[in-house]
């Protein structure tokens, strides 16, 4: 992972980058599918359906298990999913290996950190709070709290604004083409993790950095005097 730049600010994606949320997402999804007599989707399939938001996850899974329903029926399933997931958001979700070590190192060196996620804001904040990680981040921006979500640059720029930072010397860390495009649209480099939820080969995207473990990013920051 050769890279010469050092960064003063880090923005992270959430699902598939910092936290393996697929176990809890799949349980919520399968409750919804069962309510309309559809077979369950396994957790590995869910990992490759995440990224476009909860409604898109439901649409993907309906297509996969027998075909779409009406928009009204999908809206009801979406709300059922959100209600259940909100109440069971951190039962089996786990922080990825290396994440806490990286966040601790950055925090110890006063590096600004934010989250830009296509999860709804209230769910993103609830997940981070239940995992005991809120103290790391000066901004958490869900798709519904920005002008235009990822891959648009607005998501990155508005997260940075709430962090009190500029895009200069900022690194985006994600797991998908959406993250790569959002970073480059904002004019910042991106590090992509190889263990995330991308449904395409992650190294097919034009990222500056690829890592197998988040702790590999430990040295890519500007140490404060």
Nearest to residue 67, comparing CAs of 27, 44, 36? 36
Q: At 36, give phi and psi (nearest 5°).
A: -115, 25
Active site residue 75: no
For the chain, how big is the Rg over CA atoms in Å?
Answer: 17
C-alpha span between 112 and 120 (Å, rounded): 22
Beta-carbon contacts of 32 under 8 Å, excluding residues fewer than 6 positions away, are 58, 77, 80, 81, 84
C-alpha span between 190 and 87 (Å, rounded): 33
Question: Which of 13, 15, 20, 24 does the annotation list as catalytic?
Answer: 13
Catalytic residues: 13
């Amino acid at each position: 992972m050769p890279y010469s730049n050092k960064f003063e600010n880090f923005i992270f994606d959430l699902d598939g980058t910092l936290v393996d949320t697929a176990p809890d997402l799949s349980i919520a999804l399968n409750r919804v599918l069962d309510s309309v007599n559809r077979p369950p989707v396994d957790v590995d399939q869910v990992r490759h359906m995440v990224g476009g938001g909860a409604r898109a996850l439901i649409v993907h899974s309906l297509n996969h298990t027998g075909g779409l329903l009406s928009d009204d029926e999908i809206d009801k399933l979406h709300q059922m999913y959100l209600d259940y997931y909100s109440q069971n958001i951190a039962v089996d979700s786990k922080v990825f290996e290396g994440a806490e070590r990286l966040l601790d190192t950055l925090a110890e060196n006063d590096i600004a950190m934010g989250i830009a996620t296509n999860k709804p804001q209230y769910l993103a904040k609830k997940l981070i709070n239940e995992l005991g990680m809120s103290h790391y981040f000066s901004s958490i921006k869900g798709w519904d709290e920005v002008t235009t979500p990822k891959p648009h640059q607005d998501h990155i720029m508005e997260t940075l604004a709430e962090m009190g930072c500029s895009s200069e010397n900022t690194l985006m860390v994600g797991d998908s083409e959406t993250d790569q495009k959002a970073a480059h649209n904002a004019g910042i480099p991106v590090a992509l993790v190889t263990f995330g939820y991308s449904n395409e080969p992650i190294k097919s995207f034009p990222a500056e950095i690829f890592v197998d473990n988040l702790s590999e990013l430990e040295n890519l920051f500007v140490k404060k005097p």
